[in-house]
C-alpha cells in the first residue's frame, strides 16, 4: 500500500507525477468500486485537473503543500463547493453547496487531490452504512460484511486502496468503528481541534472530523493539516494544530497505560485477546499498565441516544422542502413539510428525530435530556479521575469484528451496542483513535482503541505508533 507521506514526498521532489498517482488510484476504483460502493461520487475530471496543476507547479519550481498529489476522499457530509453533498439522504437531492468546508479548503491548500465523496449511513446515523439511501458499502476484507459506519465509505476507500487517506466524522464512533472493521487507522481528535464549519451537523456537541489512513504516520500527517483554530467555528479551540509526526518515534517508555477494570461485557473473545496482546506489547516497550475504573460507562450509551438525537432533531429540522433539496408539493404548508420529510428521510433518521423531539419536549426534558446531560458530566468526572493515574486508556474499539449485512438491521439496540466503547470519549470531548492490531474471528481485522484526555493527542499517537510497530 502506498503511504501518503511517500506520495507527497515523491510528488514534491518531482520523482512521482501527481497525474500518474491519480490515474493509478482511479484505475483501482475502476476495478473494484462496483463491488465495494465506497463512493457516492467520484470527481475524476476535477482530480485529474488538480493533479495536472500540482505537476505544473512542481515543474515550475513552486513550493507545494505537504499533501501534494495525495488522493483523498471526503465523507459525503462535508460541503464541497459546486459538488453534490448528499449525506446519503434523498432529502438533499440536487443540492450543491455554494461553499467549501474549512477542512476541504485546508486539504486543497496543502495540495491534496480530492477524488470523491464517500458513502455513509444517512446523516451519519448508523454503524454499518446500511442506512445509506444509496445502498450499503461493502467491507473490502469480506464483501458479505459491513465496513462499519457511519464513515464506512471512507474506511473502505482507504482499505481498498482507492485513496491513500480520507476524512470521516465521528459523533459516537463513526470514524473509529469502521476503521477497526476495515483494518485501517482512524482518529477522532479532541472536540474543537478540527473545524466543523461545512460539516453537515448530526449532533453538534459531539461531531468531530478526523482522518483515516493506512498507518499512524499518515494519520498524524493528515490531522496536522486539518487541525487548528477556525474563526468560522465558535467551538474551535483557539490554538494551533499540534505537532504529531514529531513524537511518533518517542516510544512509550515510562508512560502509564490505563486498563478499564469495569469494562462492560459483550466483547468477542478474540477481540479481548488482541487487547491483552496490546497491553503486553506496550509493557514490553517500557510502559506501565494501570488499573482504572469508569463506573459511569454503562450509562453512556443511553445518555448518547438522548443527547445525539435531541440535537439531531433540531439540526435536521431545516430540511423542510422550502429552500433546497427535495420538495414534495402538497396543498398546504404543513402537508408539504410532512410529505417532504416522509419521503426524504430513512427509517433510522426518522427514529432518531422522533426520539430527540420527545426527549426535548416540555414535561419530558428533565427526565430525559436533562438526565443525559448529568451522565455526560459523570463520565467526564470518571475520566478526570482516571487521567490522574494514567496517560492514556486502552479499550477495544468495537465488541466484534465486521458483521454480516442484515444481521443487526432489525434490532436497533444491537446496532447501537457497536458504539459501546467509542461513545464515552465523544461525551467527554476527548480524543481517541483506533489502530489495527491483528485479526480475530474469520481472520478479520481487530482494532485497539487508544483514548487520551483533552488535547492529549501527542500521548495518544505515541502509543498508537508503538502498537503499530508491535503488530
Partner 1 sequence: MSDIATLPNGWQLIVGLEVHVELATKTKMFSASPNRFGDAPNTNIDPVTLGLPGALPVLNRHAIELAMRIGLALNCKVQPCTFHRKNYFYPDLPKAYQITQYDHPLNVDGHLMLPGDVRIGIERAHLEEDTGKSTHFGGSSGRIHGSDYSLIDFNRAGVPLVEIVSRPDIRTSEQARQYVAELRAILLAVGASDAKMEEGSMRCDVNVSVHKPGTPFGTRCEIKNVNSIRSVGRAIDYESRRQVDLIEGGGVIRQETRHWDDSTGRTETLRTKEDADDYRYFLEPDLVPLIPDQAWIEAVRAALPVLPAARRNALGQLCNVDKDGESAIVVVERGQDDYVRSVVDAGGDPARALVYVQQAFAEQGPTPKIPASDLAALTNLERAGKITSTQAKTLLSDLIDAGGGDVAVMATKRGFEALDTTAVESMVDAAIATESGAWLKYCNGEEKALGALVGAVMKSSQGKADGKVITALLRAKRSS
DSSP assignments along 127-187, one per residue: SSSTT-TT-PPPBTTBTTB---SSSHHHHHHHHTTS-SEEEEEESSSTTHHHHHHHTSEEE
The only residue of 69, 97, 309, 344 in contact with partner 1, by rule CB under 8 A: 97
Instruction: Tell me how far, at minimum, the Cβ of 423 lies from partner 1, in Å.
Output: 16
Decide if residue 354 touches partner 1 (CB under 8 A). no
Binding positions for partner 1, 226-245, rule CB under 8 A: 231-235
Decide if residue 317 touches partner 1 (CB under 8 A). yes
- Spell out the residues 6+ positions from residue 92 whose beta carbon is closer than 8 angstroms to its own: 84, 85, 86, 319, 324, 325, 326
- Spell out the residues 6+ positions from residue 328 whose beta carbon is closer than 8 angstroms to its own: 321, 336, 339, 340, 342, 343, 344
Binding positions for partner 1, 331-350, rule CB under 8 A: 332-333, 337
DSSP assignments along 338-354, one per residue: HHHHHHHS-HHHHHHHH
In angstroms, the CA 471 to CA 285 distance is 13
By CB under 8 A, how many residues form the interface with partner 1? 43
x/- string (CB under 8 A) for partner 1, residues 73-92? -----xx-----x-x----x
- Could you confirm whether 106 is annotated as catalytic? no
The only residue of 59, 283, 318, 374 in contact with partner 1, by rule CB under 8 A: 318
- Could you confirm whether 205 is annotated as catalytic? no
Decide if residue 64 touches partner 1 (CB under 8 A). no
Report which DSSP code applies to 60: T
Provide the β-strand partners of residue 445: 439
Decide if residue 197 touches partner 1 (CB under 8 A). yes
Conformational region of residue 166, where left means phi above 0, alpha means psi within -120 to 50, and beta covers everything else: beta
The pairing of strands 256-260 and 392-396 is parallel
Decide if residue 304 touches partner 1 (CB under 8 A). no
Judged by beta carbon, residue 119 or residue 395, the one nearer partner 1 is 119
Residues 64 and 55 sit within 8 Å (Cβ to Cβ): no
Decide if residue 313 touches partner 1 (CB under 8 A). yes
In angstroms, the CA 190 to CA 438 distance is 26
The only residue of 1, 322, 354, 384 in contact with partner 1, by rule CB under 8 A: 322
Binding positions for partner 1, 362-381, rule CB under 8 A: 362, 365, 369
Decide if residue 429 touches partner 1 (CB under 8 A). no
The only residue of 75, 141, 188, 196 in contact with partner 1, by rule CB under 8 A: 196
In angstroms, the CA 248 to CA 461 distance is 6
Stretch that binds partner 1, among 53-61, 266-274, 317-325, 431-439 (CB under 8 A): 317-325
DSSP assignments along 231-245, one per residue: TT-TTS-SSPPPP-G
- Could you confirm whether 75 is annotated as catalytic? yes
The only residue of 60, 62, 63, 98 in contact with partner 1, by rule CB under 8 A: 98
Instruction: Tell me how far, at minimum, the Cβ of 337 lies from partner 1, in Å.
Output: 6
Catalytic residue positions? 75, 150, 174
- Residue numbers of the site for partner 1 (CB under 8 A)? 78-79, 85, 87, 92, 95, 97-99, 101, 196-201, 203-205, 231-235, 310-311, 313-314, 317-318, 320, 322-324, 332-333, 337, 357, 360-362, 365, 369
Amino acid at each position: 500500500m502506498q503511504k501518503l507521506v511517500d506520495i507527497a514526498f515523491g510528488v514534491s521532489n518531482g520523482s512521482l507525477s501527481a497525474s500518474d498517482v491519480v490515474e493509478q488510484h482511479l484505475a483501482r476504483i475502476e476495478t473494484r468500486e462496483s463491488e465495494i460502493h465506497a463512493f457516492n461520487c467520484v470527481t475524476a475530471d476535477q482530480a485529474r485537473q488538480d493533479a495536472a496543476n500540482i505537476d505544473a507547479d512542481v515543474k515550475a519550481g513552486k513550493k507545494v503543500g505537504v499533501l501534494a498529489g495525495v488522493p483523498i476522499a471526503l465523507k459525503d457530509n462535508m460541503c464541497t463547493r459546486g459538488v453534490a453533498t448528499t449525506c446519503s439522504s434523498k432529502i438533499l437531492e440536487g443540492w450543491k453547496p455554494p461553499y467549501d468546508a474549512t477542512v476541504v479548503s485546508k486539504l486543497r491548500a496543502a495540495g491534496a487531490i480530492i477524488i470523491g465523496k464517500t458513502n455513509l449511513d444517512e446523516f451519519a446515523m448508523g454503524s454499518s452504512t446500511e442506512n445509506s439511501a444509496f445502498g450499503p458499502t461493502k467491507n473490502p476484507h469480506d464483501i458479505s460484511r459491513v465496513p462499519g459506519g457511519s464513515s464506512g465509505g471512507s474506511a473502505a476507500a482507504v482499505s481498498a486502496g482507492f485513496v491513500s487517506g480520507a476524512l470521516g466524522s465521528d459523533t459516537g464512533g463513526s470514524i473509529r468503528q469502521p476503521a477497526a472493521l476495515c483494518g485501517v487507522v482512524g482518529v477522532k481528535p479532541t472536540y474543537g481541534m478540527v473545524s466543523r464549519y461545512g460539516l453537515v451537523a448530526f449532533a453538534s456537541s459531539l461531531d468531530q472530523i478526523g482522518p483515516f489512513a493506512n498507518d499512524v504516520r499518515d494519520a498524524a500527517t493528515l490531522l496536522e493539516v486539518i487541525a487548528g483554530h477556525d474563526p468560522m467555528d465558535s467551538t474551535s479551540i483557539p490554538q494551533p494544530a499540534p505537532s504529531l509526526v514529531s513524537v511518533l518515534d518517542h516510544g512509550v517508555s515510562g508512560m502509564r497505560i490505563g486498563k478499564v477494570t469495569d469494562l462492560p461485557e459483550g466483547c468477542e473473545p478474540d477481540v479481548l485477546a488482541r487487547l491483552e496482546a496490546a497491553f503486553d506489547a506496550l509493557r514490553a516497550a517500557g510502559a506501565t499498565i494501570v488499573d482504572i475504573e469508569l463506573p459511569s460507562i454503562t450509562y453512556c450509551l443511553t445518555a448518547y441516544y438522548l443527547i445525539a438525537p435531541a440535537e439531531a432533531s433540531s439540526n435536521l429540522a431545516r430540511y423542510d422542502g422550502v429552500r433546497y433539496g427535495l420538495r414534495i408539493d402538497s396543498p398546504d404548508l404543513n402537508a408539504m413539510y410532512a410529505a417532504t420529510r416522509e419521503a426524504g428521510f430513512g427509517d433510522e433518521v426518522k427514529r432518531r428525530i422522533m426520539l430527540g423531539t420527545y426527549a426535548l419536549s416540555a414535561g419530558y426534558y428533565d427526565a430525559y435530556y436533562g438526565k443525559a446531560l448529568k451522565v455526560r458530566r459523570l463520565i467526564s468526572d470518571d475520566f478526570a479521575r482516571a487521567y490522574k493515574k494514567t496517560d492514556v486508556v486502552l479499550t477495544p474499539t468495537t465488541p466484534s469484528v465486521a458483521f454480516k449485512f442484515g444481521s443487526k438491521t432489525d434490532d436497533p439496540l444491537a446496532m447501537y451496542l457497536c458504539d459501546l466503547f467509542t461513545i464515552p470519549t465523544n461525551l467527554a470531548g476527548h480524543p481517541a483513535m483506533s489502530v489495527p492490531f491483528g485479526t480475530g474471528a474469520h481472520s478479520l481485522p481487530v482494532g485497539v482503541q487508544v483514548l487520551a484526555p483533552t488535547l492529549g493527542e501527542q500521548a495518544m499517537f505515541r502509543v498508537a505508533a508503538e502498537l503499530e510497530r508491535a503488530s
